[in-house]
Structures are given as structure tokens and as C-alpha cells.
Structure 1
Amino acid sequence: MNGMLLVLIAFVLFITAYKVYGTYLQKLFDIDDNNVTPAHSMNDGVDYYPAKSPVLLGHHFASIAGAGPIVGPVIAAGFGWLPVYLWVVLGSIFFGGVHDYASIVASIRHQSKSIGFVIEKYIGISGKKLFLLFAWATLILVIAVFTIIVADTFTHIPSAGTSSILFMILAVLFGISVYRLKIKLWISTLVGVILLFLSIPAGNLFPLQLNTLTWQLILFAYIFIASVTPVWILLQPRDYLNSFFLYALIAGGLIGVFFAAPSINIPAFTTFSLDKVGYLFPALFVTVACGAISGFHSLVGSGTTAKQLNKETDAKMVGYGGMLIEGILAVLSLTAVASMVNEEFLDILVNKGPVPAFSLGVARFLHAIPFFNLSIELGQTFTALAVSAFALTSLDTATRLARFMFQEFFEVELKEDNKLNETLRNRFVSTGITVGVGAALTFSGQTMSIWPVFGSANQLLAALALLALTAWVIKTKKNFIFILIPMLFMFSVTLTALGMLIYQNLIINNYTLSIISLLLFVLSIILGIKAYVVLGNSKEFELPITEK
């Protein structure tokens, strides 16, 4: 099997799916640009602010991608390239793409509130409270882990810290130029992208050497500021410009694949069980995660993206299209490591990790482009820097999303003397509490010990989001099979994975992870029962499964 063929097949399938299945979903959701989106009707200049579709795609893609579609497929490749490839392609088209697109559309039809708000409307307020609490806790874990990862990266690669600071300054200038000085987007983009790539050698010239603790404190200050400032001045432009890193990485990697024409050297299938990963089911579907479907995407789509959607038709490109682009990145990641000799791949994966394995594979593709003349060493550096830049993007996006979850949790009918809820909903207070709890978890030393449960928690988010979206689609009296099947499948994956985590950690007396896994298991059962009771009594649920 040739890697070029794998990439070509995936590319054709994704283009076809976007045109055919994406259009079907667009009609099913009654997408109409005559409907005013909340970005306009609720414009507050801070969180609700319309963005042009390329800018919003950049923000959304940069936020959902991170290192997920790279790390997940690389680790899962231990099962063999075939199961990973099939799940990435089919998952992106029929699971992740549907999940992401529906999350954005459902959100804009509900004042661009989170999936928790949708749960409250169709399942009940107690379900909303449980979901928001779970989502907020999951995001706190993301904040803590990514703070550790980014701070360690900046400590060991000081040039990356300098370049990242330059990115921030450039983003602010870009935001001002587009939204205040009204300079054309293409002009600002051209200048911005040039300066973006020049900041890489600038970082090498002036590396900022600080210890890990100092970087962690700087990062906590940064994510607080990033969470409370208007999206147009930092979040939108930074993610938009950063996305060009990933676009360049994907484009260069894909072009390199066609010049290198690498053979696939790892087996198509190896085993049903991997050490430290688990059985093919459910481990494959939990491990690949962002490369096919991820619950984090629903938080981004209904959290920041929906609040910036300029018009309803943009949701297809941003939501469904963004997931398919991520699927292409996952296929590229798989091809990059599958082109290695199996012994080399396993050696790098075990001793150095998935990112170095991906970086080396892509660097070889870039090196194969005759007119590019890029050394493998420089290609590895560029690839690793691009991945670390997106870890930082996920960090500040997660902070703003956690703030939204916290605010919505206390969003109730306020009495005149109920000042506490009003205070807790203040964006500065809610952000301060969120960052404070994230910092406490970071400095506790327990962060990485509970990280293993994140994969299952993330996919539980996807299952719960699909549950809420299924309820919404049923209530709109539409064909709901397209979203019911992914929901049932993701619940089966999640419950099996959590059950295994409970058992495995009880055996080794790791009661902390066992209790957390048990709580997540019970949470999913409770929300599932609540949904079944509500929908079971719904007349819409009994309608023939045909579109009206």
C-alpha cells in the first residue's frame, strides 16, 4: 500500500462528503441566511461579535485541533494503520462532522448558549447543571495539563516562548487593523502571515530563558487576560493567524507525500490489545479522539464559535468543513508514522513520544519536495513548533469556555437581593475562579496522575452533546437517525471505557481514578435515563423516521 493513495482516497471522500452529506445536513437544519445570528442580535463587543468566515474557521480549527489529531492517530497506529484509517475517515464524515456542525447550529438557535442550555430545554435543568459541572471540571483539567505542557516546552525551547509572545503582539495589531482601522482582510492577512513566520527566526535570535514556575505564572496571567478581553482583539486574530501554521503544515505535508510516494511499512493490523492502551474496542475510539470525534469540539462550537457566526450558511464550512480538515490532518499524521519501518516507529513512540514521531515523518515529506530544499532537521523544528503553538491555543480557548460554563451554571432568575449569583456571573470573577482552580490543580502535583481519565471524559462529552442534539432534532420533528446512531455508539464506547478504567484501577488500588471513573459512569447513566424518560413521552419520538 502506498501512502499517497491513502491520502488521495481520504481527500476525495472528504470533498464528496462536504458537498453531498454536508448539503443534506444543511437542508435538514433549515439553514437560512435571513435568520439573524446572535453575533449580530446580541453583539456585546466582548463575546458576541461577528467574524468573517475565513477568520472564524481559523479560530475554530485552531481551537479544536491542538495536538489531538496528531497524538491520537499516532498512538492508535499500534493497532495497525487500517483500523485507524477507517475510523478517521468514517468518523470524521458521519460522527465528528455531524457532532460539530449540529453543535453550532443548535447553539445559534438557542442564543449561542452552550450545549448545557440545550440540555436544560429538552431534558431538564438538573441535567444542565450536571453537564455544566462536568464540562467545567474537564476544562479545568485541560487548563492544568496544557499549562504544564506549554511551560515545559518554553523552558526547554526558549525560542518558542519568545515567538509565542511575538504572536500575541501581532494578533492584537491584526485585530486593530481589521476591526478598527478597517484595512482589507487580505492585506492584513498577507502582512500578518509574513510577520508570523518571521517571528520564528526572531525567537531564535532572542530566546527568553525563564524557569518553569515563572512561565506557569505568566501563562495564568495570560489566559486570564485572554478570557476577559473582547474576542476581536486577541482570540479571533491570534487563532486565525496561527491557523496558517497548521494550513502550511498540512499543505506541505500533503505535497510532500506525493513527491515522496512513501510505502506503508507498518502492518495493516497487529493486535486486538495494546499494552497501556487497551483493547481495540473501545481504546481505538477513545485514543484517536479529535481525529474523528471529540466532545471538546462541542464546547468550542457552542461556546466561542457560535457567538461569532456571521451568517447561518457559514456553519457548514466552519463546523462540518473544520472537522474534515482535521480528518485530513489525522490521515497525514497516520501516513507520516506508517511510512516508517515498524521498529523505528515503535522505538520513537516509546522513547520520545508521538509528536517527535510525527515531526520526523512530516519532515521527511517536506524534504522530498524538490523546489523546497528543506532539511529534515529544520522540518522537524517547524513541525514541533506548530504543534506547541496549538497547545497554547487550546489552553486559552479552554479558559474562556470554562468561564462560559461557570457563568451559565449560575444563570437563573435573579431576585433583587440575590447579589451572589450576579457576582459569580461577572466575567472577571468567573474567570478569576476558573484560573485560580486551574492553578491550584497545577501546583498540587496531582494533575498528570488523573490525566488518564481525560480520554474517556472527552468522549463522554461527545456522547452527552449528541444526546442533547438528538433531543433537539427530535423536537424539531426531523429525521433523527443520522444523529441517534452516533450518540448510541459513543455511549457504548464511553461506558465500556469507563467500566474498564474502574476495574483496572481498583486492581492496582488507584482509588482516585476509580472513583472519578465511577462518577462519570453514573453521570452518563443519569442523563441517559432523564433523556429517555423525556423523549419516551414525546410524540415526536414516535413519528415515522422520514423527513417531513
Structure 2
Amino acid sequence: MVTTERPREPEGPGTGTAGPRRRDPRQIAIWTAVAVVGAVAWAIVAFVRGEQISAAWLVFAAVASYAIAYRFYSRWIAHRALRVDDTRATPAERLDDGQDYQPTDRRVLFGHHFAAIAGAGPLVGPVLAAQMGYLPGTVWIIVGVVFAGAVQDMVTLFFSTRRGGRSLGQMAREEIGPVGGIAAIVAVLAIMVILLAVLALVVVQALADSPWGTFSLAMTIPIALFMGVYLRYLRPGKIIEASVLGVALLLLAIVGGGWVQDSSWGEVFHLSANQLTLALVVYGFAASVLPVWMLLAPRDYLSSFMKVGVVVLLAASIVLAWPTLQMAPLTRFASDGLGPVSAGSLFPFVFITIACGALSGFHALVASGTTPKLIQKESQVRVIGYGAMLTESFVAIMALAAACILDPGLYFAMNMPATVLGPTVESASAAVQQIGFTISPADLAAAASAVEEQTLVGRSGGAPTLAVGLSTVFSEVFGGDALRAFWYHFAIMFEALFILTTVDAGTRVGRFMLQDTVGNVWPRFADTSWKPAAWLSSAVIVGAWGYLLYAGVKTTRWAASTSSSHCSASRTSCSPPSRWRSARPC
């Protein structure tokens, strides 16, 4: 028989109410130094005018802000506001079914949650917002995540954990009644389908006609299955062993992708956009119905190594190479709203363009979807909810830095509409000159040749721009110009891997939401362990976003998807007082 509460000894500093602590002089000195570095970095980023500054100052400002916010602000929320209690059994313990509810090691769960929330948003949004200058995006990303995005993720995860792993739709129905609740569920479900279709589109665009990326990405599936079986049956609890094996196999898959691309096997993995769409639909269905320990959690955990590793390596490379920010801190497009990449003035479009990395309603769906069904202890909502969102925000800062170190002429030549740029480097150069920036046709041709592309003109969407910026920084530190093309194609594959983890986790979350919705009229359907309901709801979700992807999502604008995400974030914040009271310990 399963009990609702299981007493145990509190573990770690995240339990109960924070008591008085003796102040350690070394800790005071360390945090004072962090605060000073952060203050200096912010002063340089915000106030230096008339000369170019290094992108490293963005790194220092972000890291210092994140460290202080996590150490002090998130701890205050956990102890004083939420009052987390590790003596309370979590849904993963009380409802463990080996399918959807499963106590999961916090390291694996952090990797899964981070991989699930960090999709195209922190990579694409900041790149598109760079047309307004580096300052607006930097301020919104860092301030937004500290006081809004990370708080939302952490609090939603806590609420869902306290309420038995209930989804956002279920909690909304309990708070505002059946009519309003069902309306909210349907609206959020529609938003989820649109977001998944847009995210899948970015994956398709990155992998189409790319045998290297397709092979490397496909190999993560059997590697994840191996890790899942290894941790559950062969060597239970041996997280470090499984991690070492998984990362080693992942690196082999990445290196092997280059060999496959140049061999006869390249044709096998040379897939068109339509073929990739069908492959994504099949994979999304499998990730939704298979036990979470078998594919979804280990694959997301494995992917998080590459995600975090590449971002940290990029940050370190920026500090070592000390590249200057070529983009101005604030351009005229922030005020006149006539930006050539996307129209709209600073307010509200910088907030619309940059969602993930600062504040995203999609995260609340994950924080009330798969993650609360896997968490071991309440105190872990801090590192998983707040910490993972800070990590994603750092990804956004790195993407913004990578875009802003490029020559503005090249940036606009890549991101302006193809209809404006024209088909040649000469026409693109003339179009860029008309908006007040210069780049010669020879420079455009040389930039494309350096990364072994036929042209970079009109390569909009954010992903190619980030790849060029990343390859520029990495080539200065590792291998020089001879490896610039390698780093560029590596970055394209990395972005596809980065985004796919959001598609698979989002599909499973969508399945939970659909089961909740139908469960209002057919209670048996809401049982996540009932296979007919799980299979049917998964088929409906993947069919919905797969149809949009195959038939018409190519016309969907980035602003529409991020606006949908912000609408979901506003719904997450509705009726906070009653949620707060119901989540408090008795």
C-alpha cells in the first residue's frame, strides 16, 4: 500500500526554514568579490560609449548576476516563501509506476529538465534581437530571468510537486472552475502544438541535406537506450559510469558524422525536409509512449552534456580571445521600429523576440509535466527549477554575444529578408548599404568560403548567424582559420541537437495535457499508465504538430511563437494567492 507521507531525515540546506548561520569571513570575501566584478562589468556594458568593448564583459556580468541570484534570492524563495520540506514524499515516490512516475537522480533530472526547456528560444531570439544593439537584450535576459523566468519555473515545479504532479491545466481547473479551467487547458494545448511545430521546423532546417548532423543526432537515440538500460538493470545508481560511457559514445558519433558525410553512407543520411519531418514524428511518438527512464530522460541528460559543454567552452573562448562587440549598444532600430530583420520598436518587441532565456510560458508546461513526476525531494526544485533556467539564460547571453561580435554588415546580410537582399552578393551589399552599414561583395563571398558554404546571404532564422559567430570565436582559440568550416558545421549540428530535446519532452507534456483534458469527461483516459490513452493522445499530439510542420508552419513567424509562449506565462501567473495557500504545508 502506498502512503501519502513518508517521514525521513531532512537532507541538505534546502529543507525546512533557514536557520541562523555563522558568517564565514571567506564566504563574505568571495561574494563581495563576485559582486564587485559584476558591478564593474555592468558599468562597462551599460555606460561605456564611443568605443568598442569586449564581449567578455557580457560573460562577467551574466555569471556574477546568476551566482548572486542563485545563492541568495533563490534560497530566500525556497526557505521563506515556499518553505520546501524534504520530509514530505514526492509524487515520484508515492506514485512510482516505472513509466511516468519514477524517482530520478537529481543530476539526471537536471539534465532532462534543462534539455527540455532549452530549445530554439535562447539560440534564435537573442540573435534576432541583436539588431537593436547588445544592451537591450543583455538587460532583459539577465534581469528577466533572475526576477521572472527562473522564479516562474521554480514556483510552478514546487506547486505541481505539492499537488501530486498535476499539470498546469489541472491546477488551473481547480483554481478557476471547470469552464474556465477547460478553456485554459484548450488554449495552452493549442499554444503547445504551435510551439512544437515551430521548434521542429528549426531542427528540419538545420538537418536538411546534412548527413553529418543527421547521423550524429540519430546516434543519440541508441546511446540513450543503452544508458537507460545500463542504469536500470546493468549498473543501477552508477550515474558517473553511465555518463562517461554516454559522453564517449556521443563524441564518437559526432566525429563519425564527418566520416559518414564523406563516405557512401552519406546518401543514407542525406534526408530531405519532408523525410526529416516524418522521422521527427516517429521519434516524437516513441519518446512520448516509452517509459521515461528508457529514452527521454537519458537522452536529454546526455544532450545536456553537449549543450552545457559547448556553451561553457564558448564563454571560456570569449574570455581568452577577448573579441570586441561590433554591434552598437543601442541602434536606431530600437527607437524607430524599422528594423530590417523584424519590424517593431524596443518596447514591446525585445521582450517578444527574446522569450526563452528570460521568461517563457513553455517552461511552466515542462515544470508541471514530466519533471514533477521524477523529482526525489522538494528541496531540489531550487537547483532544477531556478538553476536550470539560469543555465538557459546563459545560453541566450552567449548567443547574443556570438551575433554581436560579427561585422554588422555581415549580420544584416544574413538576416534581412531574401526579397530585400536579392540573389547575389552585389545586391546584398547594396541593400545593407541602404540601411547605413557597409560590407563589400568580396567580404560576403569570403565569409561564405571560410565556412565552406556557397553563400551566407539571406540565411535568416538565427541559427546560421550563431554558427558563424561560434566558429569565429572557436577558430581564434582552437585551430585557426583552417578549422573554421569544421566549427561552423559542428555548430549547426549542435543547434539541431539542442532543439530536438525540447520537441520530444514537449510532446510528452502535450500528451499529459490532452489526457487531462479528455479525462474531464472520461476519467479513465486521464490515467497516464493506461496504454491505450497514452498511445492515442501521443498520436494526436505528434499528428497535430507534424501536420503543421509538413503543411504550413513554414509561414509561421518567430514573433507569433514567442508571443504564444508569453501568453502561457501570463496564464501560469493567474490566481497566485490561492495557489500559494494550497501549496503551503499544513
Find the counterpart in structure 2 of residue 200 from structure 1: 254
Find the counterpart in structure 2 of residue 65 from structure 1: 118
The C-alpha deviation readout for 1:13-35, integer Å capped at 9, x for no partner, is 10010000010011111111111
The answer (yes or no) to whether the contact 1:226–1:234 under 8 Å persists in 2 is yes
Counterparts of 1:357-506 in structure 2, within 5 Å, are: 357-369=465-477, 375-412=483-520, 426-445=533-552, 448-449=555-556, 452-469=559-576, 471-473=578-580
The C-alpha deviation readout for 1:7-54, integer Å capped at 9, x for no partner, is 112101100100000100111111111111101111111111121111
Letter of the aligned partner of 2:360 in structure 1? S
Distance 1:62 1:197 in 2: 18
1:445–1:38 Cα change, 3 Å? same
1:381–1:170 Cα change, 3 Å? same
Is 1:311 the counterpart of 2:377 in the alignment?
yes
Letter of the aligned partner of 1:23 in structure 2? R
The answer (yes or no) to whether the contact 1:78–1:274 under 8 Å persists in 2 is no
Find the counterpart in structure 2 of residue 285 from structure 1: 351
Counterparts of 1:192-341 in structure 2, within 5 Å, are: 192-206=246-260, 207=266, 208-270=269-331, 271-272=334-335, 273-275=337-339, 276-341=342-407
The C-alpha deviation readout for 1:171-192, integer Å capped at 9, x for no partner, is 0000111121125111110111
Letter of the aligned partner of 2:395 in structure 1? L
Percent sequence identity is: 30
The answer (yes or no) to whether the contact 2:209–2:271 under 8 Å persists in 1 is no
1:245–1:274 Cα change, 3 Å? farther
Distance 2:163 2:211 in 1: 44
The answer (yes or no) to whether the contact 1:406–1:425 under 8 Å persists in 2 is no
SS at match of 1:226: helix
Is 1:171 the counterpart of 2:196 in the alignment?
no
Is 1:189 the counterpart of 2:243 in the alignment?
yes
The answer (yes or no) to whether the contact 2:519–2:525 under 8 Å persists in 1 is no
Structure 1 length-normalised TM:
0.82
Distance 1:20 1:406 in 2: 38
Which protein has the larger Cα radius of gyration, Structure 1 or Structure 2?
2
Structure 2 unaligned residues grouped into runs of 5+: 1-52, 261-265, 417-457
After alignment, is 179-188 or 220-229 more displaced? 179-188
Deviation at 1:55, TM superposition (A): 0.7
Letter of the aligned partner of 2:302 in structure 1? L
The answer (yes or no) to whether the contact 1:63–1:390 under 8 Å persists in 2 is no
1:12–1:439 Cα change, 3 Å? closer
Find the counterpart in structure 2 of residue 52 from structure 1: 105
SS at match of 1:293: coil
The answer (yes or no) to whether the contact 1:107–1:114 under 8 Å persists in 2 is yes
Structure 1 unaligned residues grouped into runs of 5+: 479-548
Deviation at 1:149, TM superposition (A): 3.6
1:160–1:131 Cα change, 3 Å? same
1:340–1:372 Cα change, 3 Å? closer
Find the counterpart in structure 2 of residue 100 from structure 1: 153
1:352–1:213 Cα change, 3 Å? closer
The answer (yes or no) to whether the contact 2:217–2:497 under 8 Å persists in 1 is yes
Find the counterpart in structure 2 of residue 492 from structure 1: none
Find the counterpart in structure 2 of residue 504 from structure 1: none
In the alignment of these two chains, the number of paired residues is: 476
SS at match of 2:355: helix
Letter of the aligned partner of 1:25 in structure 2? I
Quick one: which of 61, 66, 71 aligns to 1:19? Answer: 71
The C-alpha deviation readout for 1:369-401, integer Å capped at 9, x for no partner, is 368998222222222211111222122112111
Distance 1:443 1:477 in 2: 46
Find the counterpart in structure 1 of residue 55 from structure 2: 3
Distance 1:384 1:152 in 2: 10
Find the counterpart in structure 2 of residue 127 from structure 1: 180
The answer (yes or no) to whether the contact 1:410–1:421 under 8 Å persists in 2 is no
Distance 2:200 2:402 in 1: 28
SS at match of 1:290: coil
Deviation at 1:450, TM superposition (A): 6.8
Q: Which structure's residues are more often helix, by fraction?
A: 1
1:66–1:449 Cα change, 3 Å? closer
Deviation at 1:75, TM superposition (A): 0.8
The answer (yes or no) to whether the contact 2:518–2:525 under 8 Å persists in 1 is no
